[in-house]
Amino acid sequence: MNQLKYFLKVNFNFTYFFIAICAVMFLITWIPSFLSGGGLDANSVSLLNFGANFGSFVQAGEAWRLITSVFLHGSVLHLAFNMYSLYSIGTFVESYFSRTKFFAVFIITGFIASLSSYLFNNMGFSVGASGAIFGLLGLLLSQTIKTEGSYLPEIPIDKKNLIVIIALNLVFGFLVPGIDNFAHIGGLLSGFVLGFVVKSANAEIESRFNTILQKVLLVIATLLSGYGLVGLILKLFSR
C-alpha cells in the first residue's frame, strides 16, 4: 500500500489521466456508431446518454452535464486534435504550476466553458475538452502578464506567440461551422482570471489569502468533479 501511494505521488499525472478518460468515453460512445456503420463519429444518442451538454436537459435539472460533456468527443478527429492540444499544453501547465492547480483550473474552466455554451450556444448539444484547454491558455496568458517585470519567476513562454495562437484558434472557430466558440471564450476568460490567483510551483512568495483561495479552488473543482460523476452514474442506473 505504501509503495502504491509513493508511486502515485511521484508518477501520477492528471494530464494523462484526463486523456485516458476522454479516450475511454469516446470508445464507449463510438462503438454503437461503428457497429451500425456510422464511421468515425460517435453515436449522438450515446453522447446524450453519457452526459453531453444539451440545453433542455440542463434546464430540466441535469446540470452535471456541464462537467461530463468536457470528457466527451464527437469524432476521432475531434478527440485526436483536443488530446494532442491537451498533451502539449497540459503537461507544461501541470509541471509549471503543480498537479492540484492544473486539476482545479482544468475542471473549473471546463465547467465555465460548458456554462457559456449552455447560455449562448444554439447549435444543439455540445461536447469536448477544448473549452478547458482554452482555459489553460488563458491561465498561461495572464501568467505572462503577471510575471513580466515583477519579482516572480518569468514563465518560459513568449507572450506575443501565445496571443497569436489564441487569436488564430478563435478566428478558426468563428469561420468553421459547428465549433462552439462560446465555450472557447468562456474557458479562455475564466482561465485568464484564475491566472492572477494561481501561482507557479516555483513562486517564493505567496500570501496567506492567496494560499487559502487556491485551496478553495481545489475544493470547488473536486466538488464539481464529484457532482458530474454522481450525476452520470445516477442517470445511467435510472434508465
In the set 33, 114, 184, 190, the catalytic residue is 184
184 tagged catalytic:
yes
Decide: 232 and 46 in contact? Cβ < 8 Å: no
- From the list 33, 130, 190, 200, the catalytic residue is 130
What DSSP character marks residue 121? Answer: -
78 catalytic per annotation? no
Cα-based torsion angle of the residue sequence 212, 204, 159, 97 in order, rounded to the nearest 10 degrees: -60
Is 130 within 8 Å of 85 (Cβ atoms)?
Answer: yes
Residue 6, Cβ neighbours under 10 Å: how many?
10
- DSSP letters, 105-127, are HHHHHHHHHHHHHHHH--SS-B-
Classify 126 as helix, strand or coil.
strand
What whole-number distance in Å separates Cα of residue 112 and Cα of residue 141? 18
Nearest to 132 by CA among 53, 47, 174, 189: 189
Neighbour tally for 163: CB within 10 Å: 13
Supply the residues annotated as catalytic: 130, 184
